[in-house]
């Protein structure tokens, strides 16, 4: 199995501590995130060989972003240096009726000002067999969209498996075109993609396999390359209490993981990314799609109880939850 | 609409961090509170023009109390400087079967030693249309009681709406007279007052409108100025889990807000004050009493998930909960 | 009533803060623990005269361990100084599906290298009426086992009441003999011992008195000195939510405490020790076994909501829960 | 005496703690600065009536900037809301041979995108008698330059005293014109301005009055409105040890303050601003220029021993140093 | 040698961190002090048997004060419980031209309201051979003065050596009589007392033996019991840089210790107390007065580089400085 | 130029914060060190390709040690996993007359129990041209000594340049042989080695070139492979104030760097390692020995003002000091 390539923006996350609001905190904890970097970090911790491609400015804070990736074992040989700033966001963690809050300050980051042709994708994809991207990158700027397109074309030509996460963010897409205009072309390159969850409140009502099948078939009809549609089914009781289940549809069968009752959530940010990372690992390392979705849901369940964007979690920890006892005994 | 005046003692709150007990912590976080200051701060954040009247000693810690009020936009032009000390309390936050703990060290504070005549209430109330006080101030000392009485007489004369919160604290009232002897006279000036909740465990049993009507009628019979009785109905499952609902009675109708299930409480202190502040805002800014009580309950619900005495919360945030989705999604 | 003697290893606990994992934290909080030291500290806080016997190296970190014991009022006159290191463990607190994690680094601590004859047990037990030990000490090394045996023989000879907690830890017992080979001889000295809980998932199924009676009778048959078998019945819904009940069996009657629903656990470590300490206190200070077990369960319930190994809790606090209101109101 | 108006960009300062480098710290302390805001905050603490004019985006971090100004008593009625982001900088404090480090991330802040005509200077200057600006604002963008020009023209017309601090920053001035092209016109409006220090290493060599007179005369020749030239004379032994003296030249006489030996510097940032603020206060409140410069140097000396951009220092504290004992006894 | 008894008020010290001012800090570090408690803690660390006598209220913060004493091994059997509050002070550490600042909030503490007859001094002094007090206690209230007098009379009768530290604090002595009226009687009981330093700036000028002899003779003439006068000679270059030397005069000879150049002071508070404690230890444990004063100066020199009121320092550490290398190598 | 290989033990450093003593701190900051790892980290930051060889246990704390190395870009492909524990030490930073303190707890670490033959040095040295070791490794255990010997033999055979740092630590060398018995054989493999500084107090007296030449010649006579002797000349005024200079002797000429006056030291630990790393970089990257020693002294001078074992410093920063202004201006 070849290397995995992930491409996207890396962000510095500045968060208030514990339950403090951004308006109250005296200091901000530093962490790093970004949907695609989260996937890369998770996969590297699972033991996969991963290279993360992004563009960063030359300063100490971007050096720290690199140091963070390297500490997890993510390869950074193809990172481009240039541009003016590291994108960042401020984060406060919510509780029950006070939702979590993200304030972005990412405009004009080095990824916004990346230029087509700057990345030699043929070089990047040498020895690689998988490419992962999300809808956040083309949302940043026209250039970021064009570089994503370059990457997808090269990946397709060179025969990599392509996974894409739609990851729609309303407050992005300011550069002139809408997601609706841009995404279909990009998604048409994907082998695996996140699906649009049936419009059902899963706390109130159980979603049947048939509904996922319908949604999946619609995707597959629209994007003929697509071989697997991925759903995460979240029921939101409150900011502190969710339910969680993963679903795969391969055009034939619907695979549902165990459903988890997430009663005292620690940090929800990055849980979708942790699911996607663990699914990629699962599809590459287990024999069945059922095991893959079980692993993805177990690993991303654990992420809900870990601070920060990244799922600081090993294969052994996720498998222990996936396979066994689910009542959180002390390990000593 | 004129300015709102709040009068009372401002306290420094020194609290242990997170779940640490006072006996365990290496340092104490500094915050400021006091029932009436909490109301003032909340109203200022809601955009109301508020002036807080108190008495403070001349030292750095009292300066900080002032800086805290000013940072929220509360006016402090009528604060009196004098006396020996800033009252304070130590606080540890409880969990489930370990209740929260407050240790007061407020005796002989500058508010205890305030003197009748020191505050020119005619000056203070110029341009004001609302006066808010609580039963904590007359409990401190005979002088504090006399100054409260001065304020109420002046407010009544100058035609302000008067709201009073009984706020009975057992460990106060050491100066010679009991609450029972003193409060009726003071309450008789009020247009709006907190009511005595029917003696029912609301976790076990639903309290019907009739019970609130009875309790309200009793208040109104006793205090003929009273036009509105305010109830907060708390069910205490544990220190970490309460239920919460606001109720108004205007002599004719009982208005009940939505009931909230507060499953992972962050900090209960100041929730009653946040309710009163939001109710004052609601009565002044919404057309109906129903909206006012809904806003008050929503805003004070959010306070349960915010650290510190003060409800660091905007109108927009409280309205988002009041009007819409109650499941704590991430706002980004 | 004479003094209580507890004997065992004292450990430094280095823990990550809040929900941070050991892999994430920038600093480690210092605390001290060890099953027997936890019992000693709890009893000293309850007002009992307690002396803790252990062996510690001569360095600043061991001095701190001593300072911690002394600050709680535990006597340390019989502590031996010698050996090379203070045993320690790293701790991260879990949540829901992520269990708590303990990484021991205690091998070759000063307690491992204690030598038979080093402690003058006749001197230690002067004026004492109770001796407490656990199965952790004989698990450390052959010498630690031999010194435990010395202590038990001396205690028996001198007529002390002996309580023992089996406290089986899989990762200990590396010195050549297994728990099965060693423990029966040691347990045969005990008047009071922890019992093996019936093999039942108490979340799913209620355990009847009869089952405890059976388990207790089995212990008593095997260890004829045993007059009281102690059970703690934990149901594990998740790492954050357990149920908790204490049970005593005296060969005739089964005494069950109230059952507690521990919905938002703060720290589970040391809860068993806090139960044992409170039980010893209860047996010495209440008239009935029922009260003793109620006190033990109430005190150890509170421990679940206190950070650290030690139950920083007074008799008054435990009795307030035991006797009264269980819904965690604010105490002010 | 009328109000003082200060105009400029407000920045969030994110700094590592103590001696940690930005590459090492786990969290960043939040503070606020900006040359003109520092002047405003200092003057407000000295008891002057000050209004700060700037442009800020609508988000929580900018709200905090406002809260910080308000807490010190600075008026914020003329702050404009709009634009996309709050400018910020990262800061690490140096020591001896490791200089302090500032990484700016301010491009495209709300002050960069301010528009001519947006601020009604006639309104702003009502009741004001002093206007303070620095060369940082026109360096940001053409629009920021144009708005500065508007302000200066209005201030001149309305008869305010104008003070300007050149404050040249090499890494700004990216918008097309250089400082040399733009500043002379702006400086020509000033009554009081910072002078170019004679090119002498003051650690090695004493600078005579004649040299300041020469430098001052040159300024006055070039800018005929200028009535007072202000010099700060810093000798840099190391990042931790400087010497410090203030000098005024009014066209006739050179006024030199006492010289201070700053042997264990805590934080050098904002010391120039603290000097300028205290000088403005001094010129308005003392009878002689000698007293004004003594006060300015004493106040800014204290700033070297205070963390953060702002000089958290009262008139009493600065006067105690100015007039008396300079050996740092404990005040109790 | 018998036990040492120290009597005085114990205070909680709440301090800002590092170089933060009280107006800036988000939290306050908790420590405990008080001149006499500092002496007791230091002596206990040196291995002396010490009992501290004070009066404390019954609450968690006072419990912590006790825990702190006990952790250092100070005996607390004669502590009286009663009264309303634990005295406290706020502290910010200065640097160079910004002096340290202490804000007391101790009025009406439990020591203020102590009553004559409350302490059974005959019981307290059983087995004791030394009594230490300071001029702070009689400064608090008339009752505190009377209890000090009781103690001195009993100590004299029972033949203890009495050491007294004048410790004049301007802001105390509010109860009606001045230090000048009260202290001579109390000092007349002392065998050892702190002397009034010759009025000389020791940075500028060397103080000769003759000057100390003169000052000492004056004391001895006035207080015939006095056998030893103790001087500490501090030169104050700045808040961060002092010089330090101890001097004894026994009526015959002047003993001067080595003089220390304290170039980067960490915390000056409690250095006088640490000198007095080490002197008491020195007089009891060394053969010569020269050694005693060398030890006292060395131990108190180390205190200047330790945070908090208490000298966390062993005999071995102080002797290493006293006897040997004074250039601060790493000990590993 | 080939890769650099460094071999040695990696230690976790647990330190108290700021000026707190180990006996005072509530938490310990986590960092990583070890003489050879410090050299590797420094070289990687300078842009050299470095691989660090060590042996580590399989647990989270050792994972963190790895993550730390990887974050700086050090290669860890040849790290051996096995053994029981990660060596650690406790550290408190001194000031002036209170020296820094290190308490080791490293016995029986995974490096102590490494076995000869475990590391395939032929594999490790592929593509490498430089090997660095220190006298700490053979001091740990006989096996660690034997593995060092294996490494030196292989490095010599494969033609690498070998640098060795004597680094004598008194408290190591417990395994049966002394440094004097073991080191000469190991040193005989070195091309470059640290020299024994002439026995002179450099604060009092200048050491002439002749003295270094004598010392160097003695080394070279004893170890014929040695081509370069390295001296660091430290004058210790106090724990906070040292002088610092580097000296090289190549058998012909003595090269002395500029001498630095280190007046407010932040952290002295690891400064010798930072010198050695920078010297290796200098010898590989500059044309002259003079430049190499200037770079080494400049880089290690900066380390004195950086917290932690590792010199978080770039080539650009060290060169800026080496070449230019030495007075610590703010870089913005």
The pLDDT value given to residue E315: 98
pLDDT of residue E319 exceeding 80, the answer is yes
- Per-residue pLDDT at B328: 72
Of A332 and F209, more confident: F209
Q: Enumerate residues 6+ apart whose C-beta is below 8 A from B276.
A: B39, B132, B163, B165, B194, B230, B296
Q: Model confidence over D197-252: pLDDT tens digits?
A: 998 888 888 899 999 999 999 999 999 999 999 999 999 999 999 999 999 999 99
CB contact under 8 A, D263 and E269: no
Residue F87 has pLDDT above 90, yes or no: yes
Q: How far apart are CA E52 and CA C254, in angstroms?
A: 48
Report the residue from A267, A305, A307 with minimal CB separation from C97.
A305
Which chains would you list as touching A if contact means 3+ CB atom pairs under 8 Å? Answer: B, C, D, F
By the 10 Å C-beta count (0-12 exposed, 13-18 middle, 19+ buried), F312 is classed as buried
Bridge partners of B15, per DSSP, are: B29, B91
Of all residues in chain B, what percent carry a pLDDT higher than 70? 100
- For chain C, list residues with pLDDT below 50: none
Which of E95, E103, E203 shows the shortest C-beta gap to D264? E95
Choose from E271, E305, E320, E323 for mutation: most chain F CBs within 10 A.
Answer: E305
Mean pLDDT rounded to a whole number for chain E: 96
CATH fold, domain D3-229, is 3.40.1190
The pLDDT of residue D329 is above 80:
no
- The verdict on D214 touching A (C-beta cutoff 8 Å) is no
Contacts of E63 in chain B (CB under 8 A): 23
The structural domains of chain A, with segments of one domain joined by +, span 3-323
Whether D99 sits inside 8 A of F330 (CB atoms) is yes
CB contact under 8 Å between C14 and F28, yes or no, is yes
Question: Mean pLDDT for chain B?
Answer: 96
Size of interface A-F (CB pairs under 8 A): 14
Q: Coil, helix or strand for B187? A: helix
Tokens representing residue C325 in the block: 């209101």
Contact A73 F71 (CB under 8 A): no
Check CB contact under 8 Å for D59 and A25.
Answer: no
Class at the top of the CATH hierarchy for domain B3-319: alpha beta
The pLDDT of D263-292, averaged and rounded, is 97
Residue pair B41/B310 in contact by the 8 Å Cβ criterion: yes
Average pLDDT of span E95-99: 94
A234 in contact with B, Cβ within 8 Å:
no
- Which residues in chain E are closer than 8 Å to B26, comparing Cβ atoms? 29-30
Cα(F276)–Cα(F228) distance, integer angstroms: 12
pLDDT over 80 (residue D326): no
- How much is the pTM? 0.96
Give chain E positions within 8 Å (CB) of D305.
19, 94-98
Q: Which of C23, C59, C84 lies nearest to residue F107, judging by beta carbons? A: C84
Q: Which of C70, C72, C73 sits opposite E73 (nearest CB)?
A: C70
Predicted pLDDT of residue B74: 98
Q: Name residues of chain A where pLDDT drops below 70.
A: none
pLDDT at F137: 98
In this complex, is the C-beta atom of E326 within 8 Å of any C-beta atom belonging to chain C? no
Q: Taking residues D293-307, what's their average pLDDT?
A: 98
Q: What is the pLDDT of residues B229-247, one digit of tens each?
A: 999 999 999 999 999 999 9
pLDDT confidence band for F214 (50 / 70 / 90): very high
User: In C97-226, which residue ranges form alpha helices assigned H by DSSP?
Assistant: 121-124, 136-140, 142-157, 179-187, 209-222
Touching subunits of D (3+ CB pairs, under 8 Å) are A, B, E, F
F332 touches chain D (CB under 8 A): yes
- How far is A56 from A80, CA to CA, in rounded Å? 6
Answer yes or no: do B19 and C307 touch at CB < 8 A.
yes
CA–CA separation, B277 and B4 (whole Å): 11
3-class SS string, chain F? CCEEEEECCCEEEEECCCCCCCCCCCEEEEEEECHHHHHHHHHHHCCCCEEEECEECCCHHHHHHHHHHHHCCCECCCCEECCCCCCEEEEECCECCECCEEEEECCCCCCCCCCCCCCCHHHHHCCEEEEEEECHHHHHCHHHHHHHHHHHHHHHHCCCEEEEECCCCCCCCCCCCCHHHHHHHHHCCCCEEECCCCCCCCCCCCCCHHHHHHHHHHHHHHCCCCCEEEEEEEEEEECCEEEEEEEEECCCCEEECCCEEECCCCCCCCHHHHHHHHHHHHHHHCCCHHHHHHHHHHHHHHHCCCCCCCCCCCHHHHHHHHHCCCCCCCEC
Distance from CA of E162 to the nearest CA of B (A): 35
| Residue of D98, D171, D201 best to disrupt the F interface, most CBs of F under 10 A | D98
Residues of C in contact with A331 (CB under 8 A): 99-102
The pLDDT of F54-66, averaged and rounded, is 98
Sign of the dihedral defined by the CA atoms of residues E151, E153, E156, E158, in that order: negative
Of E20, E102, E203, the CB nearest to D307: E20
Task: Judge: B70–D73 Cβ closer than 8 Å, yes or no.
Answer: yes
Res. E332: pLDDT tops 90 = no
Interface predicted TM-score of the whole assembly (ipTM), two decimals: 0.95
The answer on pLDDT for B23 being more than 90 is yes
> In chain E, pLDDT over 70 holds for what percent of residues?
100
Looking at residue C93, what is its pLDDT? Answer: 96
Confidence of residue F326 (pLDDT cuts 50, 70, 90): confident
| Residue E330: pLDDT over 80 | no
Q: What is the pLDDT of residue F276?
A: 98
pLDDT (tens digit, 9 = 90+) per residue, A11-43? 999 999 999 999 999 999 999 999 999 999 999
- What HEC string does A216-255 produce? HHHHHHHCCCCCEEEEEEEEEEECCEEEEEEEEECCCCEE
pLDDT of F170 reads 82
Q: What is the pLDDT of residues D115-131, one digit of tens each?
A: 999 999 999 999 999 99
Q: Which of C305, C308, C331 sits opposite B96 (nearest CB)?
A: C305
Q: What pLDDT is attached to residue D171?
A: 86
Query: Predicted confidence band at F327 (pLDDT cuts at 50, 70, 90)?
Result: confident
Which chains share 3+ C-beta pairs under 8 angstroms with B? Answer: A, C, D, E
Give the mean pLDDT of chain F.
96
Say yes or no for a CB contact (<8 Å) between D30 and A29.
Answer: no
Tell me how close the Cα of F104 comes to any Cα of chain E, in angstroms.
8
| Model pLDDT, residue D324 | 84
B262 at interface of A, judged by CB pairs closer than 8 A: yes
Nearest neighbour of A321 by CB, restricted to C20, C97, C237:
C97
**CATH for F3-321 (3.40.50.880, 3.50.50.60, 3.40.50.1400, 3.40.1190.20):** 3.40.1190.20
B312 at D interface, C-beta within 8 A:
no
**Exposure of E288 in the CB half-sphere (CA atoms within 13 A):** 8
**Mean pLDDT, residues B30-56 taken together:** 98
Q: Find chains touching chain C: ≥3 CB pairs under 8 Å.
A: A, B, E, F
D 21-80: CB under 8 A from A: 21-23, 25-30, 59-61, 63-64, 67
Asked whether D92 and D100 are in contact (CB, 8 A), the reply is yes
Mutate to test the interface with A, among D17, D27, D99 (most CBs of A within 10 A): D27
Kindly state whether D236 is in contact with chain F, defined as any CB-CB distance less than 8 angstroms: yes
Q: F1 pLDDT exceeds 90? A: no
The whole-number average pLDDT for the span D250-257 is 97
- Is CATH 3.40.1190.20 the right assignment for the domain spanning E3-323? yes
Q: CB neighbours (10 Å) of residue C94?
A: 23
**Planar angle of CA E149, E151, E153, nearest 5 degrees:** 70
Instruction: Note the pLDDT tens digit of each residue in E219-267.
Output: 999 999 999 999 999 999 999 999 999 999 999 999 999 999 999 999 9
Tokens of B331: 């706002």
């Amino acid at each position: 199995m070849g290397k995995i390539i992930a491409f996207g923006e890396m962000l510095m996350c500045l968060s208030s501590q514990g339950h403090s609001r951004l308006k109250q905190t005296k200091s901000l904890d530093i962490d790093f995130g970004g949907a695609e970097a989260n996937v890369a970090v998770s996969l590297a911790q699972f033991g996969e060989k991963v290279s993360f491609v992004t563009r960063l400015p030359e300063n100490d804070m971007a050096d720290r972003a690199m140091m963070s990736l390297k500490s997890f074992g993510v390869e950074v040989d193809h990172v481009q240096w240039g541009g003016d700033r590291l994108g960042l966001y401020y984060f406060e963690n919510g509780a029950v009726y006070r939702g979590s809050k993200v304030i972005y300050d990412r405009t004009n980051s080095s990824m916004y000002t990346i230029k087509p042709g700057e990345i030699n994708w043929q070089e990047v994809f040498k020895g690689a067999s998988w490419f992962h991207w999300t809808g956040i990158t083309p949302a940043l700027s026209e250039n970021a969209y064009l570089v994503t397109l370059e990457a997808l074309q090269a990946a397709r030509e060179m025969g990599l498996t392509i996974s894409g996460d739609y990851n729609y963010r309303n407050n992005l897409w300011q550069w002139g075109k809408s997601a609706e205009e841009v995404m279909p072309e990009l998604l048409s390159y994907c082998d695996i993609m996140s699906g649009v969850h049936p419009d059902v409140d899963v706390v109130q009502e159980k979603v049947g396999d048939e509904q996922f099948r319908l949604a999946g078939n619609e995707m597959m009809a629209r994007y003929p390359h697509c071989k697997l549609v991925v759903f995460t089914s979240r029921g939101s009781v409150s900011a502190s209490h969710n339910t969680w289940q993963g679903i795969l549809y391969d055009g034939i069968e619907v695979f549902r993981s165990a459903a988890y009752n997430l009663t005292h959530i620690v940090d929800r940010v990055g849980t979708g990314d942790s699911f996607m990372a663990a699914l990629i690992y699962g599809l590459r390392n287990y024999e069945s799609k059922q095991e893959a979705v079980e692993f993805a849901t177990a690993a991303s369940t654990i992420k809900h109880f870990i601070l920060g964007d990244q799922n600081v979690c090993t294969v052994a920890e996720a498998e222990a939850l996936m396979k066994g006892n689910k009542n959180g005994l002390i390990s000593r």
